[in-house]
């Protein structure tokens, strides 16, 4: 007797194929829903870390400058609040503000004072004002051989733009305002910045000074608080920190 055996061939039905495709699509959507927020968190954290690096660098540079201040009286540190119209020009005693503003002014020595701000452009006007003073000194022999010696001459045009930290140096005078003697800018000397525009990583920086603290015994300025806000190119805040700048 002969026994014939055979194998049954079974394929994938249309229903099974559709079910498999549906499950695959479900898992793909779930992966995308997981990846997108993780990617957004990573990008946000990366931008925030980069902005924090910029803010920390700005604070370190300002602290280094403020440590060079010479404090002899109550008015050797003050805050000006010229608003958005400030263009780096000389600030008069009428702009003295004791509480808050965008420009910090402090005495460097008996002849010079310094400003720290980020809301103005080092324009051609400021450049030429420094140049004219430099040339006149050289011609008069007061600074023989130092023509074109200022730092502003080496600043790239991109480094002169607003939203970067600029240090302004001015010949200073003393003026009595509200019974206190203030050191205030009288004439241009030089402009510079702590680092070039490439360090900002395409961010902008806004500075806001407030709450000057005084020595309880001498009433001389001891510190000022600065809010440093790092913004993206759309002027949206990315990172903010405040710092105490000591004198």
Across all residues in the chain, what is the average pLDDT? Answer: 84
Give the predicted TM-score (pTM) of the model: 0.80
Between residues 156 and 174, the one the model is more confident about:
156
Q: Token digits for 147?
A: 């023509």
Between residues 46 and 68, the one the model is more confident about:
68
pLDDT for residue 105 is more than 90: yes
pLDDT of residue 106: 94
What number is the average pLDDT over the span 122-128?
Answer: 93
Domain boundaries, the chain: 69-201
Between residues 185 and 85, the one the model is more confident about:
185
pLDDT of residue 112: 92
pLDDT for residue 38 is more than 90: no
Between residues 217 and 24, the one the model is more confident about:
217
- 162 phi and psi angles, rounded to 5 deg: -70, 170
What number is the average pLDDT over the span 154-165?
Answer: 92
pLDDT of residue 63: 97
What number is the average pLDDT over the span 95-114?
Answer: 87
pLDDT of residue 74: 86
């Amino acid at each position: 007797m002969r026994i014939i055996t055979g194998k049954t061939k079974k394929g994938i039905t249309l229903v099974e194929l559709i079910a498999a495709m549906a499950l695959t699509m479900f898992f793909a959507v779930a992966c995308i829903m997981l990846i997108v927020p993780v990617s957004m968190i990573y990008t946000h954290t990366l931008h925030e870390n980069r902005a924090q690096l910029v803010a920390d660098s700005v604070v370190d540079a300002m602290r280094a400058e403020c440590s060079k201040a010479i404090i002899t009286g109550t008015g050797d540190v003050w805050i000006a609040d010229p608003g958005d119209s400030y263009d780096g020009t000389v600030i008069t005693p009428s702009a003295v503000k004791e509480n808050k503003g965008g420009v910090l002014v402090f005495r460097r020595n008996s002849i010079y004072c310094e400003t720290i701000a980020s809301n103005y452009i080092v324009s051609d006007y400021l450049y030429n004002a420094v140049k004219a003073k430099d040339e006149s000194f050289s011609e008069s022999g007061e600074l023989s051989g130092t023509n074109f010696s200022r730092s502003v001459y080496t600043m790239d045009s991109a480094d002169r733009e607003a939203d970067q930290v600029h240090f302004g140096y001015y010949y200073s005078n003393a003026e009595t305002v509200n019974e206190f003697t203030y050191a205030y800018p009288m004439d241009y000397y030089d402009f510079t910045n702590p680092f070039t525009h490439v360090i900002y990583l395409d961010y902008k920086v806004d500075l806001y000074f407030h709450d000057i603290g005084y020595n309880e015994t001498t009433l001389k300025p001891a510190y000022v608080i600065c809010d440093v806000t790092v913004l993206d190119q759309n002027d949206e805040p990315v990172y903010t920190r405040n710092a105490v700048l000591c004198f």
